[in-house]
Structure formats: C-alpha cells, structure tokens
C-alpha cells in the first residue's frame, strides 16, 4: 500500500516533534507543511519522517525531525529576519527557515548539495533563499550581518568569525563539543562584543569541514 505522506508528516509533528517540547505554533505549522519527503534521497523517502539522522552524501546527515524542531524554535525567527545557514545539506532546514524568516543565505562547501538544494527549493516554490558554495570556517565571507545564524554541522570550537556576522540582538545556534556528546548552544549578541550563552540539549552530528577536534597523538 502506498504511503500517505501527508498523514506521516502530521504524525511526525504530533508524535515526535511536539512531545520534544516544541510548542511554537509557527514552527509546528511549517514542519507540517514543508514536504520533507521531497528533500531526502529517493531511497530514503519511506524513512523521511523516522526519528533518524538520514545520510545525504559526503558523510553528512540530515538532522532528526525533533532536532530540527528544537533548532527552529530556539532561533525565534521573525518574518522580517535575515538568516545565514552554514551547511545547506539537503535544503530541508533551509526551506523551513525561509518560511519563518524574511530571507535566507545558505552556504555549503559541496557544490552538488548547493545545486540539488536549489532544485528542491525551486520545486517547493521558495524564492527568498540565496545559495552559495563556499567554505565558511576559514574562507567564505558574507557581505552583511544577520539577525540569526544557524550551523547545521558540529564544531569543536565556535569560530570567532561566526560571532562577527551577527547583528546586535542576533542569535547564533551551533552544535559545539566533542563527539559523541555535543551540546546545542544558543548565543545571543548583547552588543559591545558580549554574547550570552545557553546550552539547550545534547546531540551528535558530523563536524563541519575544518572544524573538527585537533588530532591527538598517542606515543
């Protein structure tokens, strides 16, 4: 029997995401509307709503739906906000961000991710996203600052340059630490170079390129 994707999406929202303390109505509505099944590999379409990290290539993964819900809720996006996403991946979180904010810039080191995400976003009728191929930890530099910045891969340490891309009052959501126990952190720019840190929950994600822990040599 063919899978009812609309029903599966609503079940994901009600039985996975909402019980994980995601109660923001706008976030739940977006997760229930954006067709997650269109942003996964064809082989994983039946698993699009499972409580799993799904592989997307280049040893990268698509975050679990519950983690995506918590991330979107923590960012507390306004319709007029500008958002920078580091790590486009499949483009699903990009689509959700675009539905919650005014405009999104998303950068990924893998050109094939950028191309595929662009096609998926266009098919979904989402036009307020600028996609860029670049390496954000050491190389690529935006020409503006943002109201919110979300990093979809882990970092061992938060690069200082990321903090410099936030407007006063802006929020940075990033996964920091050493696998297998990493912490999802929310940093708020309070002005004059001050940042308030809040640890939200634990997870485990692949690292961004050039953001891994330093190698430890054993003698």
Q: Are strands 146-155 and 82-86 parallel, antiparallel or unpaired?
A: parallel
Q: How do the pLDDT tens digits run along the chain, 219 residues long?
A: 678 999 999 999 999 999 999 999 999 999 999 999 999 999 999 999 999 999 999 999 999 999 999 999 999 999 999 999 999 999 999 999 999 999 999 999 999 999 999 999 999 999 999 999 999 999 999 999 999 999 999 999 999 999 999 999 999 999 999 999 999 999 999 988 899 999 999 999 999 999 999 876 555
Residue that has been written with the tokens 């990924």 in this structure:
108
pLDDT at 218: 56
Which has the closest alpha carbon to 71: 181, 179, 178, 148?
A: 148
Q: Please check whether residue 121 is in contact with residue 129, taking contact to mean a CB–CB distance below 8 angstroms.
A: yes
pLDDT of residue 193: 85
Domain boundaries, the chain: 53-203
- Domain spanning 53-203: CATH superfamily: Vaccinia Virus protein VP39 (3.40.50.150)
The answer for residues whose C-beta is within 8 angstroms of residue 52's C-beta and 6 or more apart is: 64
Residue 96 to residue 122: CA distance in whole angstroms: 14
Q: Would you say 113 and 107 are in contact if contact means Cβ atoms under 8 Å apart?
A: no
């Amino acid at each position: 029997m063919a899978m009812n994707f609309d029903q599966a999406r609503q079940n994901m929202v009600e039985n996975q995401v909402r019980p994980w303390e995601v109660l923001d109505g706008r976030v739940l509505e977006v997760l229930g509307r954006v067709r997650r099944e269109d942003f996964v590999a064809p082989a994983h379409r039946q698993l699009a709503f499972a409580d799993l990290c799904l592989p997307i290539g280049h040893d990268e993964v698509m975050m679990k739906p519950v983690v995506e819900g918590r991330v979107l809720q923590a960012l507390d996006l306004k319709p007029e906000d500008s958002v920078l996403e580091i790590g486009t991946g499949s483009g699903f979180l990009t689509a959700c961000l675009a539905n919650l904010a005014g405009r999104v810039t998303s950068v990924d080191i893998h050109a094939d991710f950028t191309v595929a995400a662009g096609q998926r976003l266009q098919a979904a009728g989402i036009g307020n996203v600028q996609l860029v191929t670049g390496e954000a930890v050491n190389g690529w530099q935006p020409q503006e600052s943002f109201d919110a910045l979300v990093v979809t891969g882990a970092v061992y340490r938060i690069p200082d340059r990321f903090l410099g891309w936030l407007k006063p009052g802006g929020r940075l959501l990033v996964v920091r630490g050493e696998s297998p126990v990493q912490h999802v952190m929310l940093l708020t720019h309070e002005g004059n170079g001050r940042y308030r840190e809040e640890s939200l929950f634990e997870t485990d994600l692949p690292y961004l390129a050039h953001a891994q822990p330093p190698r430890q040599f054993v003698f």
